[in-house]
Amino acid sequence: MRFRRSLRARVGVAFTLFGGLGSLLLAAGLFLASHDLGERLIDETLTAELEDYVSRRQRNPQSPPPDTATIRGYVRSLNDAADPDLPTDIAALAPGRHQIELQGTAFRAAVKDRAGERFYILYNESNLQRRERGFLAFLAISVVIASLLSAAAGVWLAGRAITPVVELAARVRSLHADDGPEPFALDFPQDEVGALASSIDHYLERLGAFIDRERAFTANVSHELRTPLAVIHGAVEVLLADTTLTESQRGRLERIDRAASDMTGLSEALLFLAREDEGLPVEPAHCEVGSVLRETVERVQGLFKSKPVSVELDARAHVVLPVPQALLGIVLGNLVHNAFSFTERGHVRIKLSSDSVTVEDTGSGMSTEELSRIFDRFYRGADSSGSGIGLSIVKRICEHFLWTTEFHSAPGIGTTVQLRFTADRTPSAPWPEAS
């Protein structure tokens, strides 16, 4: 999945990140500017105090240095090696600006030489640092509040911004296959959403035309395909009534009759799959699974009678399903036919239980990759000679009647498939009446 979050969530997250990052950068800029301004003011104060004390010292050599809660001053003669009243850390300072810490207190110091003396002026930064910490806490709280406000505003604005998209999605979601074409583009502005609505309108037009063609094809097939099949059945019945037929001639006619029956069942299945969503009346059907299974095995076994494959059929369970016999025959026929097709020698075991049919063979088997694609339309395995649509039809029929199929296979060992019927055996849509 390329996009794991909703559009509204992505817009809200973008607003939150933008607001949080913007407020963070702004807070950092304000703090740095405030700190730099404080340093400048301290340096200006130190310069003014230093010049003032130097002037007073020149006028009165006995003038004491300043000593207040904020400003502290010292002076010593450059000719003296050391001054016992001057702290060692201060005495080591050279002329210029310095940052120093005395007894756990931070000071900003200015040092200057004049007339053989060295003057020291120190500014106590405790109050400034206290104010900076308070200002930093205020900025941090402001960043959090700004981020929360950005998130709330982002969610609200995202909801407002994607309203057209939500409305378009709701209208598309409410569409039904039988709904007539209702243009969406007229209700949306000519922007990205309008372009999306226009694309959906174009797609719905094509889909509607396709559905109309499919329904027309279904209606035509229901008559044009069944009519010749009925003619074939009738002709075969008449020919089979001829007592002068030889055994080989009768066998060929029976093969024609079985092929026509298979074609009739296949056409009914295709018509059913094409029309299952139209809600046509239900055709009553009660199908005895055992008899259909025996007929299927007998028919398929005749097609592969040249193979050295033994058949074990256990159809003693009595199971009746409310489904058309043709559809059940197609499902069972595909499963049994595949078992014989992929088994060159060995056996095929078929068992009917109260809720399932199991078909087991000793054929070539299938790999994991082949098992994952067996229901794909037109997919054929490496040893398959069919068209690749049989199991896709089986899947559609099973989905309609809520049946399940389980395949277990291993290359070189064989395949076991279980067709399991649902407990209530209620189809998900009605079976269409014959036309």
Q: The domain that contains 306 carries what CATH number?
A: 3.30.565.10
Would 425 be classed as within a structural domain?
A: no
Would 431 be classed as within a structural domain?
A: no
Q: Name the least confident of 264-268, 343-347, 397-401.
A: 264-268
Judgement on whether residues 324 and 391 belong to the same structural domain of the protein = yes
DSSP string, 68-137: -SSEEEEEEETTSS--TTS-HHHHTPPSEEEEEEETTEEEEEEEEEETTEEEEEEEE-HHHHHHHHHHHH
Listed residue (92, 143, 152, 102) closest to 122, CA to CA: 102
Judgement on whether residues 100 and 144 belong to the same structural domain of the protein = yes
Would 42 be classed as within a structural domain?
A: yes
- The more confidently predicted of residues 81 and 425 is 81
Residue 151 pLDDT class (50, 70, 90 cuts)? confident
Judgement on whether residues 219 and 235 belong to the same structural domain of the protein = no
Query: What integer pLDDT is reported at residue 279 of this predicted model?
Result: 44
pTM (whole model) above 0.75? no
Judgement on whether residues 195 and 238 belong to the same structural domain of the protein = no
- Residue 426 above 70 pLDDT? no
Query: What integer pLDDT is reported at residue 431 of this predicted model?
Result: 39
Q: Name the least confident of 1-10, 122-131, 326-335.
A: 1-10
Residue 351 pLDDT class (50, 70, 90 cuts)? very high
- The more confidently predicted of residues 365 and 173 is 365
Average pLDDT, the chain: 80
- Residue 181 above 70 pLDDT? no
* Number of domains observed in the structure of the chain: 4
| Centroid of chain to Cα 124 | 62
Mean pLDDT over residues 374-391, rounded?
A: 62
Would 434 be classed as within a structural domain?
A: no
Judgement on whether residues 218 and 306 belong to the same structural domain of the protein = no
- Residue 422 above 80 pLDDT? no
Of the residues 206, 224, 242, the one at which a domain ends: 224
Query: What integer pLDDT is reported at residue 176 of this predicted model?
Result: 67
Judgement on whether residues 255 and 271 belong to the same structural domain of the protein = yes
Q: Name the least confident of 41-45, 128-132, 253-257, 405-409.
A: 253-257
Would 29 be classed as within a structural domain?
A: yes
Cα–Cα dist 355/357, whole Å? 7
Strand ranges of the sheet holding 117-124, from the earlier edge strand across to the other edge: 71-77, 117-124, 105-114, 96-102
Mean pLDDT comparison of 18-27, 77-86, 278-287, 367-376, highest-scoring range: 18-27
Judgement on whether residues 239 and 313 belong to the same structural domain of the protein = no
Residue ranges of the alpha helices (H) in 186-246? 192-224, 226-240
- Residue 307 above 90 pLDDT? no
CB atoms within 10 A of CB 234: 11
Query: What integer pLDDT is reported at residue 361 of this predicted model?
Result: 92
Judgement on whether residues 406 and 299 belong to the same structural domain of the protein = yes
Would 435 be classed as within a structural domain?
A: no
**Cα dihedral angle (336, 340, 346, 349), rounded to 10 degrees?**
10
Q: Return the bridge partners of 113, or none.
A: 118
Would 348 be classed as within a structural domain?
A: yes
- The more confidently predicted of residues 34 and 162 is 34
Query: What integer pLDDT is reported at residue 389 of this predicted model?
Result: 63
- Residue 61 above 90 pLDDT? no
Judgement on whether residues 65 and 40 belong to the same structural domain of the protein = yes
Judgement on whether residues 220 and 250 belong to the same structural domain of the protein = no
**Residue recorded with tokens 């592969």:** 304
Q: Name the least confident of 66-70, 180-184, 264-268.
A: 180-184
Contact by Cβ (8 Å): 264, 226: yes
Per-residue pLDDT of 28-59, as tens digits, reads 999 899 888 888 888 898 889 888 888 888 88
Range of the domain at 220: 167-224
Query: What integer pLDDT is reported at residue 293 of this predicted model?
Result: 92
Q: Name the least confident of 114-128, 186-200, 220-234, 261-275.
A: 261-275
Of the residues 133, 156, 179, the one at which a domain ends: 156
